[in-house]
């Protein structure tokens, strides 16, 4: 059966949104737990999520693939340490197929509205292909699903091709063109060296310089792959060594930024090696504490900036005309193609506007008033039976998000078991528990480099509040979500809906 064209069931126990790592992991764990009545809806045409959507030149993961994969579905055949986009998408597709859950996915199906109905303790969900009623709603859409376009005067007047890095237009031939890339984040440092050899001229518009450390790439040999596949525990041990090495970044991020001095030294050495021109090197040198923004990895970004056909522009953009980018100093930079690499709507999570809990109030409305917040990054007061994966303050700056997703999945499955065993019809966190959780988060956040490092980053919302990152180690998060703490929830028994008088007459 082609899941993308299957008719939607009228009702399911569990409706999952998104077919990336979070949604696929949910499907697999639901099936393993015997929670067989579920459906996964995905707005795109297949498995992959972020790794299906982001196909820009040079797209690759900046976390080692041995760690950026499910612990319960290891892949002994990764080609290299930091796998390219197409390899990660292929991995997810293979895992979906081998798990036997693929027939539970409805592709090309976008959630447009989800409304909690107190009378039947169900989510009434409207999608682009019909309606579904579900006992629980599990969102795996995350914060990297909707591109963030910059609010620049005149951008709509540009006469050439313009597209976001997450929606790369492969029909546009960049060869011999004058190209502008706005942004110097994780996508940009991969795009710039990938397109630099082909374009006539490249302008890179930078708001603040990133720290870029060398990419320690390792191509796995056939022997290594055989060892991973056939020697018990070998790949597990290798994965765990990477995990603990990445956790060593945590003290420098959350306790004392001075502990990140070795990383800064590495980044500045990488800069000195890649750029010898003093003026250009000064432009590319960060002025904030390392770690305040995401630390990037590349061996080719700095040499690309130093190429004769590249200009690094640090003047703010004033406006865009039909054929140029104009900076605040009045200089016009003529271009044929505009690439926007300005990230995602990560501090709002756009799906929140379409989810309405008690009294029809949307999650977006609640967050607009108080800032994005939840309990354990997973549940939210006022939205019964809603579980969010990669929710508020679950993001990481140092290691694999899959670690967090798997911890959340264990918590959600334990919650579902509690609902089944105790005949719970609806659950939501107590307000006091949610408030205490977030007060502790923000207290811990005060001294982190993300809040004190002197930069402006996508980690912070419009009010300067860090609503994206987890300010502790990942093993602390796993410990805190190791069991579903029903004592911190309001649990409502299953509501029996009376049969209308005369219904059986």
147 has which bridge partners? 344
Helix (H) or strand (E) holding 235: helix 234-247
Task: Work out the burial of residue 481: count CB atoms within 10 Å of its CB; fewer than 13 is exposed, 13-18 middle, 19 or more buried.
Answer: buried
Place 142 in a pLDDT band, splitting at 50, 70 and 90. Answer: confident
H helices of 453-497, in order, are: 474-480
Q: What is the pLDDT of residues 164-221, one digit of tens each?
A: 999 999 999 999 999 999 999 999 999 999 999 999 999 999 999 999 999 999 999 9
Contact 40, 19 (CB under 8 A): yes
pLDDT(271) > 60? yes
pLDDT(500) > 70? no
Q: Which residue has the higher pLDDT, 6 or 326?
A: 326
Share of the chain above pLDDT 90, in %: 89
Place 5 in a pLDDT band, splitting at 50, 70 and 90. Answer: low
493 has which bridge partners? 424
Q: Mention every residue, 6+ apart, whose C-beta is less than 8 A from residue 180.
A: 202, 203, 204, 205, 325, 333, 335, 337, 338, 339
Arithmetic mean of pLDDT, 256-267: 92
CA distance readout (Å), 86 to 45, 56, 61, 90? 15, 11, 10, 6
Share of the chain above pLDDT 70, in %: 96
Arithmetic mean of pLDDT, 446-461: 90
Arithmetic mean of pLDDT, 18-47: 97
Query: DSSP string covering 323-358, please?
Result: TEEEETTS-EEE-SEEEE---B-TTT-GGGGGEE-G
pLDDT(505) > 50? no
Q: Which of the 8 DSSP states describes residue 104?
A: G
| Domains of the chain in sequence order | 3-146+345-493 (3.50.50.60), 155-210+253-340 (3.50.50.60)
Phi-psi region of 63 (alpha: psi -120 to 50; beta: other; left: phi over 0): beta
Place 499 in a pLDDT band, splitting at 50, 70 and 90. Answer: very low
pLDDT(502) > 60? no
Q: What is the pLDDT of residues 99-137, one digit of tens each?
A: 999 999 999 999 999 999 999 999 999 999 999 999 999
* pLDDT recorded at residue 497: 58
* Cα–Cα distance for residue pair 281/272, rounded to 1 Å: 7
Place 496 in a pLDDT band, splitting at 50, 70 and 90. Answer: confident
* pLDDT recorded at residue 504: 40
Across the chain, what does the average pLDDT equal? 94
Arithmetic mean of pLDDT, 217-227: 97
């Amino acid at each position: 059966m082609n899941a993308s064209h299957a008719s939607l069931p009228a009702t399911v126990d569990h409706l999952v949104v998104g077919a990336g790592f979070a949604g696929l992991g949910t499907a697999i764990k639901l099936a393993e737990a015997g929670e067989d009545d579920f459906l996964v809806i995905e707005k795109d045409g297949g498995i992959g999520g972020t790794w299906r959507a982001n196909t820009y030149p040079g797209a690759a993961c900046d976390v080692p693939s041995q760690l950026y994969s499910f612990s319960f579905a290891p892949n002994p055949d990764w080609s290299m340490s930091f796998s390219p986009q197409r390899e990660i998408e292929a991995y997810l597709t293979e895992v979906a197929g081998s798990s036997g859950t693929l027939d539970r996915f409805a592709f090309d199906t976008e959630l447009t509205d989800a409304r909690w109905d107190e009378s039947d303790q169900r989510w009434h969900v409207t999608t682009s292909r019909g309606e579904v009623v579900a006992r629980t709603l599990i969102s795996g859409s995350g914060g990297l699903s909707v591109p963030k376009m910059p609010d620049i005067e005149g951008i709509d007047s540009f006469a050439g091709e313009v597209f976001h890095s997450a929606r790369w237009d492969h029909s546009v031939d960049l060869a011999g063109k004058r190209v502008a890339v706005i942004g110097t984040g994780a996508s940009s440092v991969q795009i710039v060296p990938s397109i630099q050899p082909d374009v006539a001229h490249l302008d890179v518009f930078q708001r603040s310089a990133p720290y870029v450390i060398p990419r320690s790439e390792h191509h796995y040999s056939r022997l290594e792959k055989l060892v991973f596949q056939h020697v018990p525990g070998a790949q597990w041990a290798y994965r765990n060594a990477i995990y603990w090495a990445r956790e060593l970044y945590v003290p420098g991020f959350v306790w004392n930024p001075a502990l990140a001095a070795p990383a800064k030294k590495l980044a500045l050495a990488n800069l000195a090696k890649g750029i010898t021109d003093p003026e250009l090197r000064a432009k590319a040198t960060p002025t904030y504490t390392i770690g305040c923004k995401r630390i990037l990895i590349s061996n080719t970004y700095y040499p690309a900036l130093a190429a004769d056909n590249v200009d690094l522009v640090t003047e703010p953009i004033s406006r865009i005309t039909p054929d140029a980018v104009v900076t605040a100093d009045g200089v016009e930079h003529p271009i044929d193609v505009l690439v926007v690499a300005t990230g995602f709507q990560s501090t709002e999570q756009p799906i929140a506007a379409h989810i309405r809990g008690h009294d029809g109030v949307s999650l977006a409305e609640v967050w607009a008033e108080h800032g994005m917040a939840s309990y354990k990054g997973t549940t939210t007061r006022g939205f019964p039976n809603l579980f969010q994966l990669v929710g508020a303050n679950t993001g990481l700056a140092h290691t694999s998000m899959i670690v967090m997703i798997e911890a959340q999945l264990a918590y959600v499955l334990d919650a579902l078991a509690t609902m089944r065993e105790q005949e719970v019809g609806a659950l939501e966190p107590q307000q006091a528990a949610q408030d205490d959780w977030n007060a502790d988060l923000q207290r811990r956040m005060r001294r982190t480099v993300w809040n004190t490092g002197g930069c402006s980053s996508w980690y912070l919302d419009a009010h300067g509040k860090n609503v994206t990152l987890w300010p502790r180690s990942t093993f602390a998060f796993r410990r805190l979500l190791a069991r579903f703490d029903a004592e911190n929830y309001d649990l409502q028994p299953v509501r029996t809906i009376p049969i209308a008088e005369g219904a059986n007459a």
